[in-house]
Structure 1
Amino acid sequence: MFKLFSKKEENTNDFAAVVSGKIIPLTAVNDDVFSKGMMGTGVAIVPDDDVIVAPCDGEVTMLFPTMHAFGMKNEDGVEILVHIGIDTVNKQGVGFKKFVDAGTTVHRGDKIIRMNSYDLKQEGYDLTTMMLFPGCEKKMSFTTDGYAKKGKTIVAEYKKEGE
């Protein structure tokens, strides 16, 4: 009976959406490097928001100087690469603002990067944002359709050893 009032234990082996928008399978991304899994398995989101957030609690392990991508590692050591858009590296950081640096400990939903989606779209950039799990040895499952709410909607999960 008292379980109603107890704090719900959060699942630490899942990853929330890094941006709000339409979820699509990685195979639907308009770039072979991503759609053929060359950068790892994962999921993609066509954003309708400018703010990219942390998908989990962990450490920002790298932040590209162009701010179009960043890497994280969660408490279990699972690595995730978030890549914002296709060919956005060509902008050399113009249109992006960072809120953290490499080495920063973050929590799910913390702001990482803001993009100026209006200007980037006007210049013809595809802003589909990929959540990739390069070299992940753990069994992963992904949400491949629907609408994601940044920091909330679970789009990726893995099975821990022994589960």
Structure 2
Amino acid sequence: MFHLFNRKKEDLIVAPFDGEMFSITKVNDPVFAQKMMGDGIALKSTKDKLTVCAPATGQLEVLFNTGHAFGIALESGVKVLVHIGLDTVNAQGDGFKVLNKKQGDFVKALDPIVEVDLVKLSKDYDTTVMVVVTEAAGKQITFKKPMHVALGDSLIQ
């Protein structure tokens, strides 16, 4: 568990879309469920098409050309990974559309990053989205309890 003290707007981690937030330990993938990549939360959307936005402000440090995952480095040194679906790297980009962003760009929280066709992907993949703090930079970050979140709601206490 982590918690940001003296949290500034630049340190916020927010919901990248509307959905149901639940414990990452419930994800059907041991790498995420056992927090091997870091602590985080999981989100599910009920929509057919989904725009996944940046959950934080910072540098788009990683953006896979397949669109299945991206990472943001915040000014504070905290790093956040958004991974869209389980094993979706195997879709080789089919069902994903990267939106006018490239690796290295500066993004603001809620900037649209990837469009996802959940209907297409759900035929072969679990479409759970993980938001993981891969580097806490010495900060304590505590994720909120499971609940319904709207785009832009804080995911941390």
With the shorter chain as reference, the TM-score category is 0.7 to 0.9
Structure 1 residue runs without a partner (length 5+): 1-9, 158-163
Asked if 1:154 corresponds to 2:151, the answer is no
Cα separation, 2, equivalents of 1:144 and 1:23: 8
AA aligned opposite 2:94: V
Aligned to 1:73: 73
Cα separation, 1, equivalents of 2:9 and 2:16: 17
Q: CA deviation at 1:144?
A: 2.8
Cα separation, 1, equivalents of 2:62 and 2:9: 25
Cα separation, 1, equivalents of 2:10 and 2:68: 26
Counterpart of 1:12 in 2: which secondary structure? helix
The answer to whether the 8 A contact 1:22-1:145 is kept is yes
Counterpart of 1:142 in 2: which secondary structure? coil
Larger-gyration structure (1/2) = 1
The answer to whether the 8 A contact 1:60-1:73 is kept is yes
Structure 2 residue runs without a partner (length 5+): 1-7
Aligned to 2:87: 87
How do 1:93-104 residues align onto structure 2 when only pairs under 5 Å count?
Answer: 93-99=93-99, 100-104=101-105
How do 1:42-61 residues align onto structure 2 when only pairs under 5 Å count?
Answer: 42-49=40-47, 50-61=50-61
Aligned to 1:28: 26
Cα separation, 2, equivalents of 1:104 and 1:44: 25
Cα separation, 1, equivalents of 2:9 and 2:60: 20
Aligned to 1:160: none
The answer to whether the 8 A contact 2:67-2:114 is kept is yes
Q: CA deviation at 1:16?
A: 0.4
Asked if 1:112 corresponds to 2:109, the answer is no
Q: CA deviation at 1:84?
A: 0.4
Cα separation, 2, equivalents of 1:144 and 1:130: 15
RMSD: 1.4
Q: CA deviation at 1:19?
A: 2.0
| Aligned sequence identity (%) | 35
